[in-house]
Copies of this chain bind each other. A is one copy, B any other.
């Protein structure tokens, strides 16, 4: 209570006065990029200044710095929706890495809608971000190509598009891993719950899976590849459609764990036992997957790492350097939903 009411924060000037030196000296000491610190001021004045800074709880005013240096250290991040666990996890990685680079990030949801992508990007630009991370790239859309012309550094994460720099999971490989597994189990009639057609994630996972089956001599008919939203409701609908086929598939690959969970529900409604009657595999190995009543076989993708690497990549671009796109390696976690009796893992 007695505390003084929210007084003005300390500035360089405050400290300069307190320490009896010039502002620029204080600035040099406090900027202290290690080397400068040495020859910025005499040992003792430097110490004196640092002491005052600490005592006065000095924090450099980032707005002043940004104004002066024309660098905001701000990064805008666009995701379809943060309530999608996958992107939320990716963002955690982004946030971590950003902190390491001294950058601040803010996220926005685009709901995978082009006009919102544009609007949110403009919003970010109006905040004068130094760069952007797009987690919601649509393949074949003009937006990113147009945006690239503005010369604002950006990277894609999770999904790739065109030749824009990106950090993704090797989704084709992920799809192949599932196909290998299904083939080994003897499944010949399979279906794919393929996600949104505009997302490279779903498309690549599907392509990898379908390719492998074609190579094995069991091409997957188009009718057995069903698009849907990346959530449980979408997965349920898609599974319903797959089950209308006669005979129905004996194994289903959902390109997303939540869609897989929806599919599990649909199967059950049809009196089919997942794992026994129909194998089901998902993608991303959500923490939930292993804990489901019937543990879900899923492709493990390094979501956090993907986010972190994406931000590292952006940091390179911001530093004026260049760096190549990355594709991170997935692996398969086998569980009871495809191999009953399995205790875990591969």
A91 to B229, CA, bound (A): 22
Instruction: Write the nearest CB–CB distance from A166 to chain B, whole angstroms.
Output: 21
Q: Across the interface, do A67 and B59 meet the contact criterion of CB distance under 8 Å?
A: no
Say which size band chain A's interface belongs to: 35 or more
Instruction: Write the nearest CB–CB distance from A23 to chain B, whole angstroms.
Output: 16
Q: A88-B88, A261-B292 are in contact. Are A63 and B59 (CB under 8 A)?
A: no
Q: What 0/1 readout, one digit per residue, does chain A (260-282) give for beta carbons within 8 Å of chain B?
A: 01101101100000100000000
Closest to A259 in B: B291
Q: A107-B95, A151-B5 are in contact. Are A261 and B67 (CB under 8 A)?
A: no
Q: Across the interface, do A88 and B92 meet the contact criterion of CB distance under 8 Å?
A: no
Q: Across the interface, do B107 and A107 meet the contact criterion of CB distance under 8 Å?
A: yes
A326 at the interface (CB under 8 A from B): no
- Interface residues, chain A, with chain B CB atoms under 8 Å away: 3, 5-6, 9, 59-64, 66-67, 72, 81-83, 85, 88-89, 91-92, 95, 99, 104-109, 123, 125-128, 149-152, 231-233, 235-236, 258, 261-262, 264-265, 267-268, 274, 287-288, 290-295
Chain B neighbourhood of A265, CB < 8 A: 291-293, 295
Selected from B149, B262, B294, the residue in CB contact (under 8 A) with A291 is B262
Chain B neighbourhood of A88, CB < 8 A: 82-83, 85, 88
Q: A6-B150, A105-B106 are in contact. Are A288 and B82 (CB under 8 A)?
A: no
Instruction: Write the nearest CB–CB distance from A268 to chain B, whole angstroms.
Output: 4
Chain B neighbourhood of A85, CB < 8 A: 83, 85, 88
Closest to A120 in B: B99
Selected from B62, B106, B287, the residue in CB contact (under 8 A) with A232 is B287
Instruction: Write the nearest CB–CB distance from A195 to chain B, whole angstroms.
Output: 16
* Residue among A61, A108, A235, A291 with max Cβ neighbours from chain B (10 Å): A291
A92 to B151, CA, bound (A): 29
Selected from B62, B125, B232, B258, the residue in CB contact (under 8 A) with A127 is B62
Q: Across the interface, do B106 and A123 meet the contact criterion of CB distance under 8 Å?
A: no
A152 to B5, CA, bound (A): 10
Closest to A265 in B: B293
Q: Across the interface, do B108 and A95 meet the contact criterion of CB distance under 8 Å?
A: yes
Q: What are 15 residue pairs bridging A and B, where the CB atoms are less than 8 Å apart in the complex? A: A3-B149, A63-B66, A63-B128, A64-B67, A83-B89, A83-B92, A92-B109, A261-B292, A264-B292, A265-B292, A265-B295, A268-B293, A268-B294, A293-B293, A293-B294
Selected from B66, B82, B123, B232, the residue in CB contact (under 8 A) with A82 is B82
Chain B neighbourhood of A128, CB < 8 A: 9, 59, 61-63
Q: Across the interface, do A288 and B61 meet the contact criterion of CB distance under 8 Å?
A: no
Chain B neighbourhood of A274, CB < 8 A: 293
Chain B neighbourhood of A258, CB < 8 A: 288
Q: Across the interface, do A261 and B61 meet the contact criterion of CB distance under 8 Å?
A: no
Chain B neighbourhood of A59, CB < 8 A: 125-126, 128
A340 to B346, CA, bound (A): 36
Instruction: Write the nearest CB–CB distance from A98 to chain B, whole angstroms.
Output: 10
Apart from A3-B149, A233-B287, A264-B293, what 16 extra A-B contacts exist at CB < 8 Å? A59-B125, A59-B128, A61-B128, A62-B128, A63-B64, A64-B67, A82-B82, A82-B95, A88-B88, A104-B127, A106-B107, A231-B287, A235-B291, A258-B288, A264-B292, A274-B293
